[in-house]
């Protein structure tokens, strides 16, 4: 069990702090104010306006990423199969697919809840809001949250999307009531033990996303500021003077044949977290590590490798697997750089424009999906 000082250092939410004692809870409550998790009211109004004018890329992305899967999302929401009480996910690369069903259901529900909440807000549709609500609240049935194996990573990189959805519902729909709010914030409190931000690789970056999302949802400024401090610590240690990610480019027992994929898998959460910080008044996009490298430098390096994986090999001496080298072998993308929709606004990159022109709409399998729809701009 962590002591109170450690929990505060790791950015426990106000709810998690309350579970530790009144003194800690009081400290968190003293710094409570209204925060935004992901999409502001102004952002949603802008999306409505762009859709009304059939502006791109929102119009096409909406048709493919939202309306195109609406029927499946509603069917998923109507499935009343109980959630099993224990949340445990085994080691991803060592667990048979049939034993990953819980992980896949959790991910699928999070994506569907977010998609439906977005559409419910844009269309003022109560049925869609109710469906999103059911997907979010069914996971309150969890009673045993394991901290073993890949369970914390799955929670850290997916639960934030439930927060994105719940924020939209509580702000815009009457289907979300006080009891729902209490139930969901209790789940946030219980899930704090799965925060992976103490880790140093991509796990740590995903933990920061979880901390920012949950702290913002409950209005915990202490937790948000602690998460931004951890973001800086991770960025300073994860990127070298070339903008490379040494812990990620050597993935798969030092062979590096998954190095491009895992570099994306780490830059994505760092970008999502930086965006969450920005809408709450904290700029991480301008941060530079002791080597003088910022997130824009890392973006340019990785986009160059994404366009031509042989550049990755020439630079690092490591060789990606065939599925990693999709640009070279002509196969479709096996991983995604959708977070570039955000970084492109701060650090315009011609390679991103070139690839996104072909690959849009861009999404992602983990928290922060639908980025072409929510954050995409015209490509010049």
**What confidence score (pLDDT) does residue 11 get?**
37
Nearest in space to 362 (alpha carbons), one of 349, 380, 347, 375? 375
pLDDT for 42: 96
pLDDT band at 334 (very low <50, low <70, confident <90, very high): low
Q: What angle do CA 196, 272, 183 make, to 5 degrees?
A: 60
How much is the average pLDDT of 155-178? 97
The two structure tokens encoding residue 62: 């909406």
DSSP state of 144: E
> Omega into 27 within 30° of 0, i.e. cis?
no
> What value does the mean pLDDT take over residues 157-183?
97
Tokens, residue 183: 């139930």
> Helices in the chain by DSSP H: which ranges?
4-9, 14-20, 22-29, 41-52, 58-61, 70-78, 101-123, 126-137, 151-172, 178-191, 202-218, 221-238, 246-249, 259-278, 295-307, 309-316, 326-329, 340-346, 350-359, 371-375
- Averaged pLDDT for residues 43-50: 97
The model's confidence at residue 7, banded by pLDDT at 50, 70 and 90, is very low
Q: pTM to 2 decimals? A: 0.90
Confidence of residue 22 (pLDDT cuts 50, 70, 90): very low
CA distances (Å), origin 70, targets 62, 220, 273 = 10, 33, 27
Q: Taking residues 167-179, report their average pLDDT.
A: 97
Q: What confidence tens digit (pLDDT) does each residue in 293-309 have?
A: 999 999 999 999 999 99
The predicted structure's pLDDT at residue 332: 62
Q: What is the DSSP letter of 197?
A: T
Band of residue 24 on the pLDDT scale cut at 50, 70, 90: very low
Rounded CA-CA distance 194/178 in Å is: 25
pLDDT of 13 strictly over 70: no
3-state secondary structure of 322: coil
Q: Which residue has the tokens 């700029």?
A: 283
Does the pLDDT at position 231 exceed 50?
Answer: yes
Say which DSSP state 241 is in. T
In sequence order, the 6+-apart residues with CB closer than 8 A to the CB of 158 are 106, 107, 110, 366, 367
Sign of CA dihedral 47, 180, 116, 174: negative
Mean pLDDT is lowest, of 31-45, 54-68, 193-207, 266-280, for 31-45
Lowest pLDDT segment from 129-133, 162-166, 326-330: 326-330
Per-residue pLDDT of 235-285, as tens digits, reads 999 999 999 999 999 988 788 888 999 999 999 999 999 999 999 999 999
12 by Cβ neighbours in 10 Å (0-12 / 13-18 / 19+) ranks as: buried
pLDDT of residue 321: 84
Closest CA relative to residue 263, chosen from 331, 330, 318: 318
CA distances from residue 369 to 27, 43, 133, 239, 337 in whole angstroms, order as listed: 34, 16, 18, 24, 11
pLDDT at 206: 98
Distances (CA, A) of 265 to 248, 321, 335: 9, 16, 9
- Superfamily of chain region 4-375: Chondroitin AC/alginate lyase (1.50.10.100)
């Amino acid at each position: 069990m962590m002591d109170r000082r450690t929990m505060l250092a790791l950015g426990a939410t106000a709810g998690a702090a309350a579970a530790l004692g009144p003194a800690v809870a009081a400290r968190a409550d003293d710094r409570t104010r209204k925060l935004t998790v992901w999409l502001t009211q102004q952002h949603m109004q802008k999306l409505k306006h762009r859709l009304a004018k059939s502006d791109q890329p929102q119009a096409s992305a909406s048709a493919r990423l939202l309306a195109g899967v609406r029927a499946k999302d509603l069917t998923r929401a109507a499935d009343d199969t109980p959630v099993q009480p224990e949340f445990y996910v085994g080691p991803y690369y060592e667990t048979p697919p049939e034993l990953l069903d819980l992980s896949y259901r959790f991910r699928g529900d999070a994506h569907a809840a977010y998609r439906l909440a977005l559409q419910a807000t844009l269309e003022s549709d109560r049925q869609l809001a109710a469906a999103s609500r059911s997907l979010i609240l069914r996971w309150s049935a969890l009673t045993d949250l394991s901290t073993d194996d890949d369970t914390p990573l799955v929670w850290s990189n997916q639960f934030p999307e439930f927060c994105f959805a719940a924020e939209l519902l509580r702000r815009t729909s009457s289907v979300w009531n006080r009891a729902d709010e209490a139930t969901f914030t209790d789940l946030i409190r219980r899930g704090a033990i799965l925060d992976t931000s103490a880790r140093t690789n991509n796990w740590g970056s995903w933990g920061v996303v979880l901390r920012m999302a949950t702290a913002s949802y409950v209005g915990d400024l202490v937790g948000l500021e602690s998460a931004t401090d951890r973001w800086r610590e991770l960025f300073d240690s994860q990127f070298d003077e070339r903008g490379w990610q040494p812990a990620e480019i050597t993935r798969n027992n030092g062979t590096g044949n998954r190095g491009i994929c895992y570099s994306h898998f780490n830059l994505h959460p760092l970008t999502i977290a930086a965006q969450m910080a920005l809408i709450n008044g904290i700029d991480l996009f301008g941060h530079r590590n002791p080597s003088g490298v910022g997130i824009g430098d890392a973006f340019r390096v990785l986009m160059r490798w994404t366009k031509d994986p042989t550049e990755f090999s020439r630079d690092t001496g490591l060789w990606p697997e065939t599925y990693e080298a999709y640009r070279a072998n002509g196969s479709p993308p096996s991983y995604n750089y959708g977070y570039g929709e955000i970084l492109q606004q701060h650090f315009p990159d011609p390679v991103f424009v070139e690839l996104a022109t072909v690959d849009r709409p861009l999404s992602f399998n983990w928290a922060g999906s639908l980025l072409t729809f929510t954050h995409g701009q015209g490509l010049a």
